[in-house]
Amino acid sequence: MSMKSYIAKRLLHTILIAWGVMTAAFFLMRIGPHSPADKYLATLGAGHNVSQVAAAIESRYGVDRPLYEQYFTYITSLLHGDWGWSFSTSMPVSDLIRTHWVYSFQLILLSSIVAILLGITIGIFSAARKNTTADHITTFFSFAGISIPNFWLGMMLILIFSVKLGWFKTYYDTGLPMFSLSNLYALILPVMTLATGMMAGYSRYVRSSMLENMNKDYVRTARAKGLPESIVLRRHVFRNALLPVVTIIMLDMSGIFFGGAYITEVIFGIPGLGWMSLKAVFSDDYSVVLAVTLIGAFVTLFFNLVADIAYTYLDPRIRYE
C-alpha cells in the first residue's frame, strides 16, 4: 500500500471513530437521568403548571421528537459548531469554549515545553550512565514523578511556596494579557505541577529507547570508527531513539492534557476548559460538561492521527498494513 492510500485509510478511520464518539455521547446523554427541563423546573416559582412547563421546554429542545430525528439534529448541529446552550452562563457553549480554551492551551503548551526539554535531557543523562548511582537516583525520581498524584503535588507546592515561604501570592488574572509577567509568574507553580509527571514519563521513554539502540550494530560501527562517545550518543543513538519518543509524546498528549491539566486548572484557578467543566458540573450545566468531554475525545483523535502520519514520514521502514 502506498503512503497516500495509507493516510487516506487513517483519515477514514478517524472520521469513523469521531462519529462513534458522538454517537456514544448521544446515547449516554439519552440514558442519563438529566433532562434540559430539570434546570428550569428547579428555579420555577409557585403557581406554574409543572407538566405544562416541562412539555414546553422539551418541545423547545426537541426532546419530545422521535429518537432518530433527535440523533440526526444532534449530529448536524455538532458539525455546524452548535454545541448547545449553557444554562448557568446564558450563552452558547461554543462561545464559552472560545473564551476558555486559550488558558488551557497556554498551560499545556508551557508545561509540555518544560517537560519535553527536561525529560529528554534527563533521559539521555540516565542512559549514558546506565547502572551507575546517578542512573539509579534518576530512575528513582522518575518513578516518584510518575507516581505522585498531581493534585497533591500542586497542593504541596502551594503549601511550601505560597503559604510557608510566601513567594507566589498572585493568581492568574484574565484581565491582564496572557503572557504578561504577572500571569507568567502565576503560572510557575501550575506548570511545575503539570510538567512533573510528563517529564518523569518522557525521561523513562528516552532512557529505554536510547538503551535499546545502544547495542545495535550501527552504534558499534560508529564506536569502532573511533568516534568519541558523546558524538556517538548525540548524533547516532539519540536521533534514532527519538522516533518512538516523539510518537509516545503525541499519543500521551491528550491523556495528560485532559487528566492533568483539568485538575491543575481547578487547583490553581486557571479559567481553562477543565475549570469551566467542573464549574458546569456543580451548576448542573449539562451541555458544557458534555462539550468538554467531546473536545477531549476529538483532541485525542487528532493527536493519534498526527502521530500515525508523522511516524510514516519519520520512519521509511514502516509498512502500511
Partner 1 sequence: MNITTYYWERIKGHRLAMSGLAFIIFLILLAAIGPFFTVSPTVVNFDEKNLPPIGFSVEQSKFSSEAGSLITTHVRGKWEHPLGTDGMGRDLLSQLISGTRVSLLVGLFATGLAIIIGAMVGVTSAYFGGIIDNILMRFTDIMMTFPFLLLLILIVYMFGSSLTLIILSIGLTGWTGTARLVRSETLSLRTREFIMASKALGASDFRIVFHHLLPNTISSIIVLATLTIPGAILAEAALSFIGLGDPQVASWGNILNAGQNDIQTAWWIAVEPGIMLFLTIISFNFLGEGLRDAFDPKSE
Q: What is each CA distance from 198 to 221, 244, 250, in whole angstroms?
A: 34, 16, 12
Q: Which residues contact 303 (CB under 8 A, 6 or more apart)?
A: 250, 251, 253, 254
- Taking CB under 8 A as the rule, does residue 269 contact partner 1? no
**How many chain residues touch partner 1 (CB under 8 A)?**
46
Residue 299 C-beta: closest distance to partner 1, Å: 8
Residue 200 C-beta: closest distance to partner 1, Å: 11
Distance CA 192, CA 212 (A): 30
What would the x/- binding string for partner 1 be over residues 237 to 266, using CB under 8 A? -----------------xx-xxx--xx--x
What would the x/- binding string for partner 1 be over residues 146 to 185, using CB under 8 A? xxxx-xx--xx-xx---x----------------------
Residue 124 C-beta: closest distance to partner 1, Å: 21
Which cell numbers hold the place of 123? 533521559
Q: What is each CA distance from 48 to 23, 58, 127, 237, in whole angstroms?
A: 36, 16, 72, 74
Closest among 124, 118, 112, 122 to 255, alpha carbons compared: 112
Closest among 280, 292, 293 to 89, alpha carbons compared: 280
- For the chain, the residue count is 321
- Taking CB under 8 A as the rule, does residue 208 contact partner 1? no
- Taking CB under 8 A as the rule, does residue 17 contact partner 1? yes
Enumerate binding residues for partner 1 (CB under 8 A).
13, 16-17, 20-21, 24, 28, 32-34, 140, 143-144, 146-149, 151-152, 155-156, 158-159, 163, 254-255, 257-259, 262-263, 266-267, 277-278, 281-282, 289-290, 292-293, 296-297, 300-301, 304
